[in-house]
Amino acid sequence: MLRKLDADQRQMMCVQTYDTAAEHLMVSESGVYALLVYHYCPEYRQLREWLTNQVVPALRDARPVRSVERPTLSVLSWPQMSLSMLHWQDEPWIRLRDMPCLLADDPFNRKESWWRRTSRLLRGY
């Protein structure tokens, strides 16, 4: 039965009950649904409904809420341009197609034209 589950769908955990601790097999939500599909039996319908309608919602409600669970979009505005930014998993994300616009205004990436360098060299700067 366990051979049909991926490593992220099962895990041995130490569970403490009263004053004793014992290793128990824990199966993730996707693992439970995979087992129900692999070992189909019409009688399992009530088990699936109970898991879907009562157990999983209760577990999700008991989970601590993170500040941002889903990606949020924001806009950074400057006088020359505006930029869309996605905030996801506590990281800002910028679209790849917007990168040339950002790099074009970067003072570290600006190169002088050849005639300006030559004139500076001739003037002794």
Q: Where are the domains of the chain?
A: 2-62, 72-123
Q: Which of 113 and 38 is assigned the larger pLDDT?
A: 38
Residue 102, pLDDT > 80, answer no
Q: Which of 89 and 20 is assigned the larger pLDDT?
A: 20
Residue 107, pLDDT > 80, answer no
pTM equals 0.46
For 100, the 3-state DSSP assignment is helix
Average pLDDT, the chain: 82
Count, residues in the chain: 125
Q: How far apart are CA 51 and CA 41, in angstroms?
A: 16
If 0-12 CB within 10 Å is exposed, 13-18 middle and 19+ buried, where does residue 15 land? exposed
Tell me phi and psi for residue 56, to 5 degrees.
-60, -45
Read off the pLDDT band of 65 (50, 70, 90): low
Q: What per-residue confidence (pLDDT) applies to 119?
A: 80
User: Torsion-angle region of residue 4: left (phi > 0), alpha (psi -120 to 50) or beta?
Assistant: alpha
